[in-house]
Amino acid sequence: MTQSVLLQAELSALVGAAHASATSSDDMVDGLQPQLIVEPGDVDELSAVLRWANDAGVHVLPRGGGTKQGWGNAPHGGELILSTRRLNQVLEHAWGDMTASAQAGCTVEAFNLRLAEHGQQLALDPLWPNQATIGGVLSVNDSGALRLRYGSLRDLIIGITIVLPDGTIARSGGKVVKNVAGYDLPKLLTGSFGTLGVIVDATFRLYPLPHALRTVTINAPNAALANELLLRVLDSTLVPVSMQLRAGSGRPLQLDICFVGSTAAINVQTEQLARLCLAMGCVAETAADELVPWQAREALWAGDSGAVVCKMSLLPAQQALLVAEVERLTTALRLQWELVTQAVGVGTVRLAGANDQVLMVGLKLLRSWAEAQGGSLVVLAAPTTVKQRIDVWGQAPAALPVMRRVKEHFDPHGILNPGRFVGGI
C-alpha cells in the first residue's frame, strides 16, 4: 500500500470514507500537490483529524471556499487539505441583539441572505462573497470599502471557536458585543492565515441594512486633487459608508463615495458633497447603478493570469503619492497598471505586461517605496515563477520574534500552513 492509501484509511476511520478522498490537480497550492482532502462533519471530527495529523507529523492546509488558497507564501508542506465545506451552517441569528454566528464553511453570501431576513447584515464587502467562507475571509482578513464606516473583521468579530493542532477545542470572546473577559483570541486569529488553529465558527456584531443608498462618482483631473477631495470629505461632517479611488493606465481617475440612510439625509449629503466638489473644480455624478463602482476591486483579479495583484497599505493622505509612484514606475518599465484604494489607506494594485522579470523589478521598487513611507506591499496573486522568487509579505515585521513565539506555542510541530505567513511562519 502507498503512503497515501494508508493515510486515507486512517482518516476514513475518523470522518467516514466518503469524506476522506484523493486530491486532483485542482487542489494544488502554489505548485504543491496535497494528497488528500478531509471534510469533517462536526467540531469533534475536526479535532480528531487535527490531533491525528499533529501526532503523525502531517502538514495541514485548511480550506474554505478555496478562493484565496494562493495567498501567502507557497507552503513548505501540505499533504492534507482540511476542508470546512460541510461545516456550512448559520448557527444563530439573535436579531434582537444584532449578533449572529456561523460555521466556518458558510459562505459570506449565504450568511448575509439569512441576516437580511431581519434587515441586518454582516457589514463587510469581501471578494467573491458567493464562494468565500466566513473562516476564509477571517483567516486572510479580507475587507472592502465598507471598512470606512464599519471597520474590518477585527472590529466585527466578537467570538470564535477554534481547534488547535493538538485537538484542543477552544472558545474565546462570546455572543455579546461588549466583553473584555480574557484575551481577545478572535482578533489574534483574524488574519493569521490558518497558522495558529482552524476556525470552526465565529460570532459577529451586525448592522442594520440601510433603507437607501446612493453612490456618487467624481471624475478627478489628477491624483493630487482626488486625494485632496478624499481628505476634505474625511475632514467634513459628511458620513459616507465607503469611499474609494480608482485609477489605471489610460483611464480617468475616479473617486466613488457611497451614502446610506434616509433619502432626505442622503439628498442633503450629496448636495453638500456637490458644493465641495464645485469649489474644487470637479463634478459629482450619481452612479446609474449604485453597486457597479464597488465591484472594481474584484475586477482587478479578472483577465490575464500573468498579472500581479498586491495589497498596499498606506495612509489616507498618501494616496496621490501612491498613484504618482505607480505611474512613474510603470511608465519606466512599460507595465499596465490599475488600482483601487479605499479611503482608509488600504488599496489593491494590479500590474501586468512585459515579462516576469520586469514585473519582479516593478514589485520590488514599489515595495521599497511603500516601506520607506511606513506602509507595506503584500503580493496576493502572481505567476508561480514570480512567487517563488519573492517573499509575498515584504520586510519582516518588527515584532516577528513575538509572532514566532506565539506560533510555537499554538502549533509547536508546525503542521498548520507551514511557511505561508510572515517571516516563514
Partner 1 sequence: MKNRIIDELRDIVGVHGLIVEPDQLRTYECDGLTNFRVMPSAVVLPASSEQVQRVVRMCHEERIPFVARGSGTGLSGGALPVDGCIVISLARLNRILHVDLPNARVVVEPGVINAAVTQRVAPHGYFYAPDPSSQSVCTIGGNIAENSGGAHCLKYGFTVNHVLGLKVVLPNGELAELGGMALDTPGYDLPGIFVGSEGTLGIAIEVTLRIVKRPEAVQTLLAAFNSPDEAGAAVSDIIARGILPAAIEMMDRLAIEAAEAAVHAHYPMCDGLLLVELDGPTAEVDLLMQEVKAICSDCGAWELRLAQSEAERTVVWKGRKAAFAAMGRISPDYIVQDGVIPRTALPRVLRDIEALSAAAGLRVANVFHAGDGNLHPLVLYDRTIAGQEHVAEELSFAILKLCVDAGGSITGEHGVGREKQKFMSVMFAEPDLDTMQLVRCAFDPYHLSNPDKVFPRTRLCAEKPGRYEPHPLETAGIAELF
Residues binding partner 1: number (CB under 8 A): 85
Pick the closer one to partner 1 by CB: 11 or 189. 189
d(CA 183, CA 186): 9
Q: By CB under 8 A, tell whether 152 contacts partner 1.
A: yes
Contact 90, 204 (CB under 8 A): no
CB 280, min distance to partner 1, A: 16
φ, ψ dihedrals at 290, nearest 5°: -60, -30
User: Which of 231, 280, 287, 360 is close enough to bind partner 1 by CB under 8 A?
Assistant: 231
Considering only 344, 363, 366, 415, the residue that binds partner 1 (CB under 8 A) is 344
Q: Which residues within the stretch 246-305 sit at the binding site for partner 1 (CB under 8 A)?
A: 261-262, 264-265, 267-269
Is the CB of 209 or the CB of 333 nearer to partner 1? 209
83: left (phi over 0), alpha (psi -120 to 50) or beta: beta
1 or 372: whose CB is closer to partner 1?
372
Interacting residues of 9 by C-beta distance below 8 A, sequence separation 6+? none
**Grid cell listed for 157:** 468579530
Cβ-contact 342, 366 below 8 angstroms: no
Q: Which of 341, 344, 325 is nearest to 333 (CA)?
A: 325
Residue spans of beta strands (DSSP E) within 107-210: 120-121, 157-163, 169-173, 198-205, 207-208
CB 53 to partner 1: min, Å: 18
From 229, 253, 359, 422, residue interacting with partner 1 (rule: CB under 8 A): 422
Amino acid occupying residue 166: D
CB-nearer residue toward partner 1: 182 or 252:
182
- 334 vs 409, which CB is nearer to partner 1? 409
Contacts with partner 1 in 82-111 (CB under 8 A)?
A: 94-99
| Residues from 161 through 200 that contact partner 1 (CB under 8 A) | 162, 164, 168-172, 174-185, 187-188, 190-192, 196
- Name which of 206 and 277 has its Cβ closer to partner 1: 206
Could you tell me if 156 and 169 are in contact, meaning their C-beta atoms sit under 8 angstroms apart?
Answer: no
